[in-house]
A and B are shown apart, each in its own frame.
Chain A
Amino acid sequence: MSLNFLPGLSSGLLPHGVCFQLRPDLIWLHVASDTVIAIAYLMIPAALLWFITRRPAPLSFGWAIALFAAFIVLCGISHILDIVTIWQPIYYLQGIEKGLTAAVSLATAVAIIPLVPRLLSMRSPEELAEANQRLLEEIASRELAEEELRRSLTDLNRAVKELEQFAYITSHDLQAPLRTISGFSQLLSLRHRDQLQGDAVEFLDYIDKGARQMQLLIKDLLSLSRVGRADAASITRRPLADTITEALKSLKAEIDRSSADIAFGALPEIEANHGLLVQLLQNLIGNAIKFQRPDTRPSIRISIERDGDHWLLSVADNGIGIPADQLDNVFAIFRRLHGAETYEGTGIGLAICRKIAAYHGGDITATSDDSGTQFHLRLPVTIAEQRLLPAEQHEPVPA
């Protein structure tokens, strides 16, 4: 091969081949090596480009990879130019290309250095797998805990239902022997009272009185256990005035006897189990009449006001009041502040009220001052479905 066949000599520079003294073996050694390097340098960015475009998820540090690819491409081109310069002395072009390569490689180096700590903080696949495993274990343990919680809740709900069922059935069973006691004591007193002597009549009266008290207790216990068994479907919207009127109807005898003055202004429609609300009002109004100052006409005021998403229903009386330290206790079952001789009762009435309030997702409190006692019932304006237990079929109850 002769240099005369090559163009570019006019620049006055000698092609690189001259340095190799035009030895074919040396020329071809360099050509072969530079060709392989150039091919490899061009293949690497091609592979990177392929990787970037085919990867579905967005790639972190994509710009760094692009910079790196540009740097390799330029390196590849510089090796091609090395081959060209063997025959053509395009050293300016080669110098410019090298300058560009220098700039890009420097930029790559500068860009990569701050990346090192970030790359170091990236998890290796093993570390990721381990972290993943830990997360899976944590999820499993949480699911287990949640399952246990659900089970405890189910158990608790069942226990509550069983307890209510128990109260319901026993209350029924208690009625049978009670019927025997009260039936025969009444029959005895009805038919043979005249023949009884001395203490006998008195004793018989105690039996009768005990039986009557027992009957009240059973009735109230049944009411209490029924609150929890109330059907969620019986939540309705109804004028509160109708509910109060219904409660007053069943208290007619007490109201007439005490000539109680009961007043309520304009009342809204509210959402509630009105059957239970009647029962609650009967208890509160009945108490207001029962716990009256001697020789005073009972005066009962019923009012309601809206407090955000709750109704605040108040029943205020002018009765004997409740000592401040007993205000919370009065709602406890069987809690009585007075002897049976002074005021009759079972000590269940206000426990029923509290349970009815809780059934609706509300609560009941009492305040008391010189003027009397005020009961405050807080009821949600909208009764949440999940507050209510689903209706359940009653078990057959012993007759």
Chain B
Amino acid sequence: MLIQNAGNAGSPTAGSVRAPVILLVEDSVADVRLMQEVLRETGLPHELMIAGDGERALRAIRGEGEYAGCKSPDLVLLDLNLPGMDGREVLRTIKGDPALRRTPVLVLSTSTAESDIAASYDAHANCYLSKPVDLGDFFRLAEALRDFWLRLVVLPPRRSPGDDK
């Protein structure tokens, strides 16, 4: 499943306002499922795109390969440790590409190593979130994400399909 519609289907968000598209870059299937559940619990309509590794993440954000024709994400939730190209490199690639760098990237990692946190901000991550262990904390994180990034923050204008190249 590449794309999942969530939230209140048929709500008045359809029409002029499109539900935000979140790209979740995460290799653990269980963590993906948990994130789906907690995001759904927030009650905010959204679309979740999923990429299990770094290469897929870049194809997803560029709308290439299996993601051709998909909407470009409004927000990226990025795990740092991924098989193959890891999250640190994905972050550098996105932030080094003029066509992609305006998309907010939220690093979501279990690592509390200062070097990881510093390197993420140095590579222009929009924020660094510590991945919670407890389900309650996970819910709070999803609600904070909804309240801040999807409600309070004015996200960058969407790119039209032809903008990428």
Contacts and interface: CB of A to CB of B under 8 A. Distances in A.
Contacts of A172: 110-112
Interface residues on A, range: 20 to 34
A183 interface: yes
Contacts, number: 68
Given A394-B115, A395-B113, A179 B80 contact: no
Nearest to A189: B135
**Dominant SS at the A interface?**
helix
B113 A179 contact: no
B81 A398 contact: yes
B131 A399 contact: yes
Interface stretch (B28-36, B44-52, B148-156): B28-36
Contact of B113 (A178, A183, A190, A397): A397
Contacts of B81: 398-399
B19 to A, nearest CB: 23
A180 interface: yes
Interface string B34-66: 100100000000000000000000000000000
A175 B110 contact: yes
Interface string B97-113: 00000000000111111
Interface in A197-232: 215
A108 to B, nearest CB: 84
A182 B80 contact: no
A395 B111 CA distance: 10
Contacts of B1: none
A182 B28 CA distance: 15
A180 B135 CA distance: 9
Contacts of B136: 186
A241 to B, nearest CB: 29
Nearest to A186: B135
A215 B133 contact: yes
A183 B135 contact: yes
Contacts of A398: 81, 110-111
A119 interface: no
Interface residues of B, number: 26
Interface string A357-399: 0000000000000000000000000000000000001111111
A176 interface: yes
A187 interface: yes
B110 A183 contact: no
Interface string A160-198: 000000000000100110111011101100100000000
B30 A182 contact: no
B102 to A, nearest CB: 24
Contacts of A179: 30-31, 34, 131-133
Contacts of B134: 182, 186, 215
B74 interface: no
Interface string B59-77: 0000000000000000000
A180 B31 contact: yes
A397 B80 CA distance: 9
Interface in A326-352: none
B34 A399 contact: no
A351 B133 CA distance: 24
B28 to A, nearest CB: 6
Contacts of B112: 172, 397
A393 B117 CA distance: 12
24 contacts: A176-B31, A178-B133, A179-B30, A179-B31, A179-B34, A179-B133, A180-B30, A180-B31, A180-B34, A182-B133, A182-B134, A183-B138, A184-B30, A394-B116, A396-B111, A396-B113, A397-B110, A397-B111, A398-B110, A398-B111, A399-B79, A399-B108, A399-B109, A399-B116
Interface of B: 28, 30-31, 34, 37, 79-81, 87-88, 108-116, 131-136, 138
Interface of A: 172, 175-176, 178-180, 182-184, 186-187, 190, 215, 393-399
Given A184-B30, A215-B134, A398-B111, 14 more contacts: A175-B133, A176-B110, A179-B31, A179-B34, A179-B132, A180-B28, A183-B34, A183-B135, A184-B34, A396-B88, A396-B116, A399-B87, A399-B110, A399-B111
A-B pairs, 10 with minimum CB distance: A399-B109, A186-B135, A394-B113, A180-B30, A399-B81, A399-B80, A397-B111, A398-B81, A397-B113, A183-B34
